Amino acid sequence: MRALDQLMAAVTMQPQRKTIDLPNGEVFEFWMTPLTLAERTRAQKQAKSDDATDFAMQLLISKAKDSNGQPMFVAGELADLRNKLPSWLVDALLLKLLQQDEPKDDEEEEEDSPLASKGRSRKTTG
């Protein structure tokens, strides 16, 4: 087995559920696939500056999806995200987006994702 094939078989690129608690007691939920180097590079190029917040905002727009896989934000909402929401709330979203969770290796994770496919790769212990 090629090294690349081994690495690809060891991870899942299925969407992961991310949540933040809102001040009104509700939970805001979004889904995202793990960040690839190509996506990171694209977001860096789309950012208007070297500012980490600009980079993270580009990632939020491109990566945050609803449970049906549809984008939750569009590029035209960038100004509203910056100007109409408190910074702590946007920061909480960005932190969840950038947080790279280790995938769980149990059946519960697969059941949690409405986007999970049956042919999903799993880590194996050997």
In sequence order, what DSSP letters do the residues of 28-42 get, joined into one string?
A: EEEEEPPPPHHHHHH
Chunked mean pLDDT (size 10), the chain, 126 residues: 93 94 96 94 90 92 96 95 95 90 53 48 45
Tell me the HSE value of 9 on the side-chain side, using a 13 A CA sphere: 8
CATH class of the structural domain 15-102: alpha beta
What pLDDT does residue 49 have? 87
> What residue spans define the domains of the chain?
15-102
pTM: 0.74
Give 82's contacts (C-beta < 8 A, 6+ positions apart): 57, 90
